[in-house]
Each structure stands twice: as structure tokens, then as C-alpha cells.
Chain A
Amino acid sequence: EVQLVESGGVVVQPGGSLRLSCAASGFSFDDYTMHWVRQRPGKGLEWVSLISWDGDTTHYRDSVKGRFTISRDNRKNSLFLQMNSLRSEDTALYYCAKDWGLTRYCFDKWGLGTLVTVSS
């Protein structure tokens, strides 16, 4: 069974940094593109970033470019999101999502999310 378990979400001050992790199991992690998608409290879904299976290709939404860095460790079946210069608008539940791989950027499995709160 595919499992994605996010961790690392905490309360952090504006301007602070945080590293989110996602532990994957139940599938061949190194075969798939992975994504981070966030959801602000009570709001809709917002794609954040993706990384290709080999880590060579990454993409970010404009509002996090230069502040967030996505990475992966295929030996440890883990996905990461390094978040720097955090802003109040980054407060959200951050989901790790697996790309289905059979169509273009479609998320077939999601974790339960980890909550990031940016507040002084």
C-alpha cells in the first residue's frame, strides 16, 4: 500500500526557516515525480513545487521561487521541502503528493499533510 507521511511542520516566526520531510513507502519511489501541494486554513489547494524522479528537474510556483527548495533522497525514499524567508502567507497544510505518471502532473496519492504556521 502506498503511504506518504509528512513531518516537520511547526510554528515559525516570519523570516524563519523550516524543512519539511515526506517518507514514502509501498511503491518504487525513484520511478516517480513528486510534488508539494499546500492548503491554507479553510481555503483551496495550491501547487507549490515538483521534482522529477532523478532530482534533475524542479519547478516552483512564482511566490516561492528563490525561497523554497525541493529535493529528494531516493536511497531513503524521502522528499524534502526547504522553506526559507517564511511569510505569513506560507501558513498552510503542506501535502506531499505522488505523481501518477500515466498522465501529465496528476496526483494519485497524497499524505495527510503537515501544518506550517508562520506567526510572531
Chain B
Amino acid sequence: EIVMTQTPLSLSVTPGQPASISCKSTHSLLHSEGKTYLYWYLQKPGQPPQLLIYEVSNRFPGVSDRFSGSGSGTDFTLKISRVEAEDGGVYYCMQSIQLPPTFGGGTKVEIK
């Protein structure tokens, strides 16, 4: 099973400031077909997760362009350019190159 490790565990951000979350996997997420199966989800309090980013850097339809993803192989980053109050919650990275799909432990983002 591929293990996904996120850092930091939590961060507190002032609205308008940037935020960054790191995600590392124990195996490369680059598939032989050339795609990298790394995703980012946000789970707001009391809600199910919602998809933000797919295949490392592609925003899911309807997701703000304040969110961007980058990385390759085993190291990935989610960045929020200017945090807004609605961005609070727990962010999870997930891999699906190999079954079972596995999630990182989550990064709790608190808006000051």
C-alpha cells in the first residue's frame, strides 16, 4: 500500500495570505501512460470531501483559480494564493495509481 504523508498537520492563515501544503508518497505516482494520479480534496466541517485538483495540477470544474497544484513523482504541493474564509477545513491528498487508493493524514487549515 502506498503511504501518503502530508505536512504540516495544521496551519493558521490570515485571509489574503498564501498557504501551502506538502504531500509525499512512498512510491512514484507517475503511470506508464504518462499521467500522475495525485488528487487534492477539501473537507469542510460537517461536509463530505470535495474534489479540488486532479492529476497533480488540474482544477476540478468550479474550483477557484486561487488553488493550484504542482509536483511530480513522489513530491507534491497544494497552494492557495490568497486564503479566504471559505477555505477553512481539512485538506487531503490522495493517490490512485495503485489499489487501494490511499489518502494523506490531512492538513487542517484554520482561518484567523
Contact = CB atoms under 8 A, between A and B. Distances in A.
A62 B54 CA distance: 26
B51 interface: yes
Interface stretch (B18-26, B72-80, B93-101): B93-101
The size class of the interface chain A forms with chain B is 20 to 34
Contacts of B104: 44
Question: Main SS of chain A's interface residues?
Answer: loop
Contacts of A47: 100-103
Interface in A88-120: 95, 100, 102-108, 110-113
Given A61-B100, A107-B51, A108-B51, A45 B92 contact: yes
Interface of B: 1, 31, 35, 37, 39, 41, 43, 47-51, 54-55, 60, 92, 94, 96-97, 99-106
Interface of A: 44-47, 59, 61-62, 95, 100, 102-108, 110-113
